[in-house]
Amino acid sequence: MYLSGHEASLDLREVVGVKAVKIPAKSSTLSFGKNAKVDENVPYCIEMQPIGPLGFSVVIITRPGNHRWRCKQVSFQCKDSSLCHQWITAIKEALKSEAFCRPKKLVVFVNPFSGKKKAVKLYRDKVLPLFELADIHVTYIETERQNHARDLLVQNSLDLKRIDGLVCVGGDGMFSEVLNGLLTFTAHDLHIEEMDRFEPVAPDIRIGIIPAGSTNTIVYTTTGTSDVVTSTLHIILGDQIGIDVNSVNVNDQFVRYSVTLLGYGYMGDLLKDSDNKRWMGPSRYSWSGTKSFLANNAYYGEIKYRLSSNSDSHPTDAVKCYSGCDICSMAGQSNSRSTSKVEISAGRDTDLQLDEQSDFMKHSNSQSSDLSGSYSDSNWRTVIGKFVAVNSVTMSCSCDLSPPGMSPYCHLGDGCMDLIMVSQCSRIEFLKFLLRTAKGEERKNLDFIQMHRVKEFSFRPLTEDSDLLSISSEENIPQSKKVKLKRQTSRTSVWNCDGEVIDQPKISVRVHCQLVKLFARGVEDPSLQDDQKRNCCSPSFDNS
Ligand SMILES: CCCCCCCCCCCCC/C=C/[C@@H](O)[C@H](CO)NC(=O)CCCCCCCCCCCCCCC
Ligand SMILES: Nc1ncnc2c1ncn2[C@@H]1O[C@H](COP(=O)(O)OP(=O)(O)OP(=O)(O)O)[C@@H](O)[C@H]1O
Ligand SMILES: [Ca+2]
């Protein structure tokens, strides 16, 4: 906001709402008169000129730091009540303008059991008063069971054509339900029933998240904080950002969409163990995380992945995805596929102590003609190995446990995911990996980690007799070694898919660039001044 002499100009993009107030006699507020006008050349500015005693307050946002947003009230005096109401009406009308893309009608799902079970209170105390101030009409639904929200969406019980957005008050799991319900509804609406055979269709409406869960990764990654008021304000201002969505197939059948993490091994075991400890609340993850860490399990698997065609973009390139990110803006424009290259490289294997590097390559040569045949004109690679963790993230996955996130330079909407493979390693080495992940420190010099920016990948556990050949150096494996290998390979993990367990280890995953829009704008670059932050991203005016 800019104040000068007898005039005040407010940036309407950052006005939350306006209300009539009685201004105390000795207030230091501004007043304005008949000459005040909405400046038509600058659609988001209102010029005001001071005059009389009655008043109204305009609530605007402030940025106190750490990506949090708060409200500040700026009060204005008027000569009489009629002028006061004219101003209130003029500002409300301006805010309703299509140019702002602000939501007018929302359906709000509240999961009363999220996180520390405070979602209902958080919503009533902090969110609802702001929605009321912003004149947003809300249909409130407190979920009664798992998949309640998803079922309502899929069955089209909510007349989605008449609303501007869905809001979930809860954690990542609640968002995942709403996302899957909305995408399924959108496909069914176009009479698409077999999801695995069709490209998913982008929904018309946006989703907002009020963080009330245990990890709140999506909120943290798209706003820079897990703060209830900040998320509410992003929804009210009508922010929008497209985020990448993965479709996950098991045995070539579509099972679900995901947006944050797909983790096999460590993250899968951790989740499975934590699922029956929900009574512990958010601390279940640290408990199960420690148990899985001590177990130090590693699993055999084969990963095939298609590299991003943009070879300049890499998980370690130190290019942060900030609000208005160029890489995300350009994504989708280029659909060109990268040149064909098939390479099979070995994962690290410390258990078998075999000279497998050369053997993997031998195996690779025998397979390469098949692979190049199946995936011509593409950038597919294959890795075979024994892994403590295979993680794929579609966004950085920042959260309180790891503010920089699992992959700090991952982009929200570049149509890619970052694949991080942690080969079998000692507990000390894995702890080093975890600590560096928590602090966002360099990991590329850890020789048991591989990181790639990919468009799709598939994973299969190596459990069959025929697989033993690919992980042993010997053509005729001695019986004793066969038994040992059999025992080791029969052990499989599960997938952690946005906090939901997928029991089948064999999956394939594909990214859909910016398939869904959220009420958010990405993390604002902390090195910018407030007015630069406002201007670098004016999503409200993007009607595309
Ligand atoms: C030594 C401290 C290391 C801290 C390491 C932190 C790395 C954490 C990276 C977080 C990535 C979050 C990915 C987001 C996943 C969400 O879609 C999902 C649903 O909400 N949440 C979880 O799966 C829940 C994921 C919860 C992850 C918890 C990890 C806890 C690790 C504890 C390790 C203890 C080692 C003890 C050594 C003595
Ligand atoms: N009324 C309900 N009773 C039981 N489970 C519910 C209910 N409503 C939703 N759920 C389910 O609860 C699961 C977890 O909810 P949510 O994601 O909100 O919280 P969380 O697990 O604490 O947080 P996070 O996902 O961030 O770790 C979701 O998968 C959702 O489907
Ligand atoms: Ca991405």
List pLDDT tens digits, range 385-409: 999 999 999 999 999 999 999 999 9
Atom of ligand 1 nearest to the CA of 216: 20
When divided into structural domains, the chain yields a total of 2
Q: What is the mean pLDDT of residues 53-65?
A: 88
Atom of ligand 2 nearest to the CA of 173: 17
**CATH number of the domain encompassing residue 12:** 2.30.29.30
379 belongs to a structural domain: yes
**CATH number of the domain encompassing residue 332:** 2.60.200.40
pLDDT tens string 318-350: 999 999 999 999 985 553 333 233 333 444 543
Mutation to probe ligand 1, out of 172, 272, 399 (largest number of atoms < 8 A from CB): 399
Ligand 2 close to Cβ of residue 179 (< 6 A): no
Measured from the alpha carbon of residue 293, the closest ligand is 1
Helix/strand number for the chain, H first, E second: 15, 23
Query: Cβ distance 72 to 29 under 8 Å?
Result: no
Phi-psi label, residue 458: left if phi above 0, alpha if psi -120 to 50, beta otherwise: beta
pLDDT at 449: 95
Question: d(Cα 351, Cα 425) in Å, to the nearest integer?
Answer: 9
Would you tell me how many other CB atoms lie within 10 Å of the CB of residue 283? 11
36 belongs to a structural domain: no
460 belongs to a structural domain: yes
162 belongs to a structural domain: no
**Which one of the listed residues 39, 159, 172, 467 is annotated catalytic?**
172
Domain hosting residue 284, numbered range:
246-337+348-509
Percent of the chain with pLDDT over 70: 78
Give yes or no for residue 22 having a pLDDT over 90. no
Q: Domain boundary at 82, 100, 118, which? A: 100
pLDDT at 319: 96
pLDDT at 98: 86
122 belongs to a structural domain: no
Take atom 29 of ligand 1 and give the residue whose Cα is closest: 289
- Ligand 3 center to 395 CA (angstroms): 5
Give yes or no for residue 63 having a pLDDT over 70. yes
Would you tell me how many other CB atoms lie within 10 Å of the CB of residue 248? 18
pLDDT at 38: 47
Take atom 29 of ligand 2 and give the residue whose Cα is closest: 173
Q: Which is higher by pLDDT, 366 or 284?
A: 284
- Ligand 1 center to 288 CA (angstroms): 9
Q: Which is higher by pLDDT, 338 or 443?
A: 443
Q: How confident is the model at residue 468 (pLDDT cuts 50, 70, 90)?
A: low
pLDDT at 363: 31
pLDDT at 21: 83
Helix axes 284-295, 266-275, angle to 10 degrees: 130
Give yes or no for residue 365 having a pLDDT over 70. no
CA 200 to chain centre: 18
Ligand 2 close to Cβ of residue 146 (< 6 A): yes
pLDDT at 40: 43
pLDDT tens string 490-515: 789 999 999 999 999 999 999 999 99
pLDDT at 157: 86
Helix axes 284-295, 427-439, angle to 10 degrees: 150
Q: What is the mean pLDDT of residues 115-134?
A: 96
Instruction: State how far the alpha carbon of 493 is from the alpha carbons of 256, 267, 386, in Å.
Output: 19, 9, 12
Across the chain, mean pLDDT equals 83
532 belongs to a structural domain: no
Q: What is the mean pLDDT of residues 242-270?
A: 96
DSSP category for residue 47: E
Model ipTM?
Answer: 0.96
Helices (H), 102-216: 119-122, 128-133, 148-154, 172-189
The reply to whether 172 belongs to the active site is: yes
pLDDT at 49: 46
Nearest one of 347, 268, 343, 261 to 301, comparing CA atoms: 347
pLDDT at 306: 95
Take atom 1 of ligand 1 and give the residue whose Cα is closest: 435
227 belongs to a structural domain: no
Residue 63, phi then psi, degrees to nearest 5: -120, 90
Question: What's the distance, Cα to Cα, between the start and end of the chain in Å?
Answer: 27
Q: Domain boundary at 52, 85, 100, which? A: 100
Ligand 2 close to Cβ of residue 213 (< 6 A): yes
Q: What is the mean pLDDT of residues 54-83?
A: 89
- Ligand 1 center to 269 CA (angstroms): 12
15 belongs to a structural domain: yes
Ligand 1 close to Cβ of residue 437 (< 6 A): yes
Ligand 2 close to Cβ of residue 456 (< 6 A): no
Q: What is the mean pLDDT of residues 154-163?
A: 89
Query: Cβ distance 522 to 537 under 8 Å?
Result: yes
Percent of the chain with pLDDT over 90: 61
pLDDT at 384: 93
pLDDT at 486: 67
- Ligand 2 center to 281 CA (angstroms): 11
